[in-house]
Copies of this chain bind each other. A is one copy, B any other.
Amino acid sequence: MAHKLKVALLQETNQGSREANLDAIEAGLRRAAAAGAQLVLLQELHNGPYFCQHEDVAEFERAEPIPGPSTQRIGVLAQELSLVVVASLFERRAAGLYHNTAVVFDRSAQIAGRYRKMHIPDDPAFYEKFYFTPGDLGFEPISTSVGRLGVLVCWDQWYPEGARLMALAGADLLLYPTAIGWDPADETAEKERQRDAWVTVQRGHAIANGLPVLACNRSGFEAAPDGGRGIAFWGSSFVAGPQGEFIARAGDTGTELLLAEIDLARSEAVRRIWPFLRDRRIDAYADLTRRYRD
């Protein structure tokens, strides 16, 4: 009854230009396909540096329409290599209207679906509220030939609500393209707490929803354009199963093509022993739509 799915997470460092990054992605997709992967998850905003370290209107030049040149290049590869690919782009929707958008291809150059990042962070060195309008497509899984993909993006990973809404809509997997890292000024113990929290909360979504979770994070140090301390992206991409168990883990530095095999049939087996969806108290959850219960 096993239903195996071979996945690959392409954890990359910034190569210095869009073309160089897309060249590295193309090489990664070819390696993933050669290794038998059926689905490849790329990291957040993989076409360039993490430009949100400062607020500068010039950075909007990085945005592009969807469909556009990057989706065209990646789509052609998805078709040629017969891969499901989850990409992450800076979307120019209109003048003055931009999103942080994940795009899914299903073994075809056509776009199978998109997800616009719903929760937008803003804290020192992560000034995303300046760049990204919060998503308006809701939490909707994207149907593909390998299953329904519950694609979320980075800051979303801290929100049980997003994972739950994807699960309730029939997601088979939760997938997080991510760009998260350390402030080099933080102490080692604080750095470890942060990374461990990032891993743990996402494993928690796997457990609470009985679904595998894939998180693909950027790696490498990126200097701040404005003389700040920069960010040491911590890599540590991982795949967890529906009990939160680790299936594969990448290192915390450098490029890595993380391969893993997921048994999708295990999700239903786990949900039978732990039928959390059965017992949700939907009669008592109305206040989840309140800002605060004061």
Which residues in A have some Cβ–Cβ distance to B below 8 Å?
118-121, 123, 134, 138-139, 155, 158-162, 164-165, 168-170, 193-194, 196-197, 200-201, 203-205, 207-208, 243-245, 273-277, 279-282, 284-294
B170 x A294 contact (CB < 8 A): yes
Q: Which 7 pairs between the two chains have the least Cβ-Cβ distance? A: A204-B204, A160-B160, A169-B293, A201-B207, A168-B293, A193-B243, A197-B243
Q: A160-B164, A170-B292 are in contact. List 16 more A-B contacts (CB 8 A).
A: A118-B284, A139-B284, A139-B287, A161-B285, A162-B281, A165-B284, A165-B287, A169-B293, A170-B293, A196-B243, A196-B244, A196-B245, A197-B207, A201-B207, A204-B208, A288-B288
A159 x B280 contact (CB < 8 A): yes
Report the separation of the CA atoms of residues A291 and B281 in the bound assembly, to the nearest whole angstrom. Answer: 9
Report the separation of the CA atoms of residues A168 and B207 in the bound assembly, to the nearest whole angstrom. Answer: 22
Chain B proximity of A131: nearest CB distance (Å): 15
CB closest residue in chain B, given A162 = B281
- A118: which B residues are within 8 A, CB to CB? 281, 284
- A169: which B residues are within 8 A, CB to CB? 287, 293
CB closest residue in chain B, given A198 = B207
- For chain A, what secondary structure do more than half of its interface residues adopt (helix, strand, loop), or is it mixed? helix
A288 x B285 contact (CB < 8 A): yes
- A287: which B residues are within 8 A, CB to CB? 139, 165, 168-169
- A196: which B residues are within 8 A, CB to CB? 243-245
A291 x B284 contact (CB < 8 A): no
Q: Contact check: which of B138, B170, B201, B279 meets A284 at CB < 8 Å? A: B138
- A279: which B residues are within 8 A, CB to CB? 119-121, 155
- A197: which B residues are within 8 A, CB to CB? 207, 243-245
- A286: which B residues are within 8 A, CB to CB? 289
- A243: which B residues are within 8 A, CB to CB? 193-194, 196-197
Chain B proximity of A112: nearest CB distance (Å): 19
A207 x B244 contact (CB < 8 A): no
A276 x B159 contact (CB < 8 A): yes
- A289: which B residues are within 8 A, CB to CB? 282, 285-286, 288-289
Q: Contact check: which of B160, B165, B203, B284 meets A293 at CB < 8 Å? A: B165
B208 x A123 contact (CB < 8 A): no
